[in-house]
Structure 1
Amino acid sequence: MKSAVGSLKSTSLALFYSDFKEITKAKLAVSVVFSSIAGYFLGAYQIDLWSVLLLAFGGYCMVGASNAYNQVIERDLDALMKRTRNRPIPSGRMTVNMAMTIAIVLTLLGVLALYALSPKTALFGAISIFLYTSVYTPLKTKTPLAVFVGAFPGAIPFMLGWVAATNDFGIEPGTLFMIQFFWQFPHFWALGWMLDDDYKRGGFKMLPTGKKDRSTALQIILYTFWMIVISIMPAFGFTGRLHLTIPAAALVLLCGLVMLLFAFNLYIKKDNPSARKLMLASVTYISLIQIIFVADKLIS
Structure 2
Amino acid sequence: MKTALSTTTKTHSVASVVEDFKQITKAGLAVSVVFSSLAGYLLGAETIDFKILGLLALGGYFMVGASNAYNQIIERDLDALMTRTKNRPIPAGRMSVNTAFIIATLFTILGIITLYTVNPKTAMFGAISIFLYTSVYTPLKTKTPLSVFAGAFPGAIPFMLGWVAATNDFGIEPGTLFMIQFFWQFPHFWAIGWVLDDDYKKGGFHMLPTGKKDKATALQIIMYTIWMILISVFPVSGLTGRLQLSVVAAIIVFLLGLGMLLFAFKLYNKRDNKSARNLMLASVSYITLMQIVYVIDKFL
Q: Same fold (TM over 0.5)?
A: yes
Q: Distance in 2 between matches of 1:262 and 1:5?
A: 52
Give SS of 1:87's match: coil
The aligned counterpart of 2:146 is 145
SS in 2 for 1:217: helix
Unaligned runs of 5+ in 1: none
Q: Does 1:89 align with 2:90?
A: yes
1:171 is aligned to: 172
2:286 maps to amino acid? Y
- Aligned pairs for 1:51-200 (under 5 A) are 51-200=52-201
SS at match of 1:285: helix
Distance 1:2 1:99 in 2: 32
Residue identity opposite 2:140 in structure 1: L
% identical equivalent positions: 72
SS in 2 for 1:204: coil
Equivalents in 1 of 2:8, 2:196: separation in Å? 39
What is the number of residues matched between the two proteins? 299
Secondary structure, counterpart of 1:55 in structure 2: helix
SS in structure 1 of the partner of residue 132 of structure 2? helix
Q: Paired residue for 1:233?
A: 234
Structure 2, unaligned runs of 5 or more: none
Corresponding residue SS for 1:128: helix
1:27 counterpart residue number: 28
Please show how residues 241-280 of structure 1 align to structure 2 within 5 Å. Answer: 241-280=242-281
Partner of 1:42 in structure 2?
A: 43
Q: Where does structure 1 differ by over 3 angstroms across 4 or more consecutive aligned residues?
A: 1-9
**Secondary structure in 1 matching 2:142:** coil
> Partner amino acid for 1:221?
I
In structure 2, how many angstroms separate the alpha carbons of the residues matched to 1:11 and 1:297?
A: 46
Secondary structure in 2 aligned to 1:244? coil
Counterpart CA distance in 2 for 1:218 and 1:267 is: 7
Distance 1:6 1:58 in 2: 35
Q: What does residue 13 of structure 1 align with?
A: 14
- Cα RMSD between the aligned structures? 0.9
Cα drift, residue 2 of structure 1? 5.7
Offset from partner CA, 1:179-207 (integer Å, 9 cap, x none): 00000000000000000000000000000
Question: What is the deviation of 1:238?
Answer: 1.0
Distance 1:22 1:264 in 2: 34
Q: For 1:201 and 1:5, how far apart are their aligned partners in 2? A: 40
**Cα separation, 2, equivalents of 1:24 and 1:72:** 11
One-letter code of the match for 1:159?
M
How does the TM-score come out when normalised to structure 2? Answer: 0.98
Amino acid at match of 1:249: A
